[in-house]
Amino acid sequence: MSAPTLFVAGLLALAASLAAPARAQAPAASAPAKAALTVTVTSPTMARVPVLLQANGNIAAWQEALVGAEAAGLRLATVTADVGQRVRRGQVLATLADETVRADLAQAQAALAEAEATLAEAAANAERAASLQDSGALSASQIQQYATAALTAKARLAAQRAAVQSQQLRLKQTQVLAPDDGIVSARSATVGAVVGSGQELFRLIRGGRLEWRAELPSADLARVRPGQAATLTTPAGRTVAGTVRQVAPTVDAATRNGLVYVDLKPGPDSDARAGMFARGSFVFDAAPALTLPASAVLLRDGFSVVMRVGSDNRVQQTKVQVLSRDADRVAVQGLPADARVVARGAAFLSDGDTVRVVADAPPAAPARAASR
């Protein structure tokens, strides 16, 4: 073989050796990204669901009645009511020592008897003096003095009667009575303590009625009407039904939230208590909405999100608005009807992950019992 031929053959061999690594690396560069998770997908389905407006707020007493002592300077003799006890209007909650009041009442009654006797004598003298007016035995000024004495005795009798009534009222006030039906929510009365006038002894939840004071943004206040149904969930997970009583006419200038007052209807086994914080919702009429399985909707950073699957099998985290929720389905807003959403396992994915989509396996048939 000639030298030029050998030179050309060497160049061809060198070009083939350089092209081989490039051909080897080309498939690796075009290889698809590795799937982060194998998932099943679902699409929203249309259904009529009740529209809910979520809210938070505190449970409070509808009204509280403060029960205090009307008689001052008396000692508490007995206390018959305790916290949590349901009481009736007029029921005795506590009694004050009444020995001093009874003694004052007896003294006032004695003074009343004396005033009655004085009036009888003065009236008789005035009547006799009036009968002697024409005889001239008494002067006109003397007759006037007897008449004035009778009027004075009558006024003193009225004052003593008022004093007796005052002492009788003080004696009645030695019994501390419930002003209304309700539940005792606080008690500061202690046997042996000397109470002052107006000192608080008990606090009652009037009628045992509770209310939920839900906070709503000012934009949502116009959607709520008195008489509308509401449902709230206590921290223990129990549900309590309620009805909107009124919507506050003002909005807090700092938070731009307004209060909605909801009358609660707790059952005998309800764990709702005044002072609790509770979450709830206001129920509106049913409307068509897109629904997804509850497992497809996640809560991240305070927002409800779903994982949409694109044509390239990459997931995109998408925010949605939850309209209502039950045990199995969630009504959402913010998705097209043909969206493909990760049905299960979305919690293990991040925005931009690649997934492998598989068909949802049908439910397994129940196993047959073995023959004996």
Longest CA–CA separation in the chain, Å: 188
Task: Please give the full DSSP string across 240-283, using - where no structure is assigned.
Answer: EEEEEEEE-S---TTT-EEEEEEEE---TT----TT-EEEEEEE
User: 283, 61, 73: which is closest to 180 by C-alpha?
Assistant: 61
Does position 248 have pLDDT exceeding 80, yes or no? yes
pLDDT of residue 8: 46
State the CATH class of domain 98-173.
Answer: mainly alpha
pLDDT-derived band at 129, boundaries 50, 70, 90: confident
Q: Are 49 and 324 in contact (CB under 8 A)?
A: yes
Contact 50, 286 (CB under 8 A): yes
Domain ranges for the chain, please list them.
37-48+288-358, 53-62+208-286, 69-96+174-207, 98-173
pLDDT, one tens digit per residue, over 280-297 is 989 887 778 889 998 899
Residue linked to tokens 């206390």: 79
pLDDT at 361: 43
Model pLDDT, residue 246: 94
pLDDT value for 135: 76
User: 308 vs 138, which has greater pLDDT?
Assistant: 308
Determine the pLDDT at residue 103.
93
Identify the residue with better confidence: 368 or 330. Answer: 330
Residue 369's φ and ψ, nearest 5 degrees, are: -70, 140
> Residue 10 — pLDDT band, cuts 50, 70, 90?
low
The pLDDT, as a whole number, for residue 82 is 93
Q: How far apart are CA 230 and CA 355, in angstroms?
A: 41
CA–CA distance, 185 with 304 (Å, rounded to integer): 39
What is the pLDDT, as a whole number, of residue 33? 62
Task: Report whether pLDDT(366) > 50.
Answer: no
User: pLDDT for 19-53, tens place per residue?
Assistant: 544 444 444 444 556 777 888 888 998 888 777 78
- Percent of all residues in the chain with a pLDDT value above 90, rounded to a whole number: 45
Q: Is the dihedral of CA 87, 166, 168, 106 positive or negative?
A: positive
pLDDT, greater one: 33 or 319:
319
Most confidently modeled range among 6-10, 116-120, 301-305, 324-328: 116-120
CB atoms within 10 A of CB 150: 22
CA pair distance 6, 68, nearest whole angstrom: 121
207: left (phi over 0), alpha (psi -120 to 50) or beta: left
What does the pLDDT look like over 145-171, one tens digit per residue?
888 998 999 999 999 999 999 999 999
Domains 69-96+174-207 and 98-173 share a fold: no
Q: How high is the pLDDT of residue 17?
A: 56
Per-residue pLDDT, 32: 57
Arithmetic mean of pLDDT, 3-30? 50
Decide which of 2.60.120.560, 1.25.40.10, 3.40.50.740, 2.40.420.20 is the CATH code for 37-48+288-358: 2.40.420.20
Residue 18: per-residue pLDDT: 52
CATH hierarchy code of domain 53-62+208-286: 2.40.30.170
Average pLDDT over all residues of the chain: 84
CA angle 363, 365, 370 (to 5 degrees): 150
The answer, yes or no, to whether residue 277 has pLDDT greater than 80, is yes
pTM of the model: 0.60
Q: Could you say which architecture CATH assigns to the domain 69-96+174-207?
A: Beta Barrel (2.40)
- Lowest-pLDDT range of 25-39, 122-136, 248-262, 322-336: 25-39
Residue-by-residue DSSP string for 65-120: EEEE-SS-SEEEEEE---TT-EE-TT-EEEEE--HHHHHHHHHHHHHHHHHHHHHH
Residue 236: pLDDT band (50, 70, 90) is confident
| HSE toward the beta carbon, residue 276, CA cutoff 13 A | 20
Residue of higher predicted confidence among 4 and 201: 201
User: Tens of pLDDT along 64-119?
Assistant: 999 999 888 899 999 999 998 999 999 999 999 999 999 999 999 999 999 999 99
Report which residue type is found at 179: P
Encode pLDDT of 329-352 as tens digits.
888 888 888 899 998 888 888 888
Model confidence at 59: pLDDT above 90 = yes
- Buried b or exposed e, range 197-231, using 16+ CB within 10 angstroms: eeeebbbbbeeebbbbebebeeeebeebeeebebb
pLDDT of residue 157: 93
pLDDT grade, residue 367 (50/70/90)?
very low
The pLDDT of residue 30: 46
Q: Which contiguous run of DSSP H or E holds residue 232?
A: strand 229-233
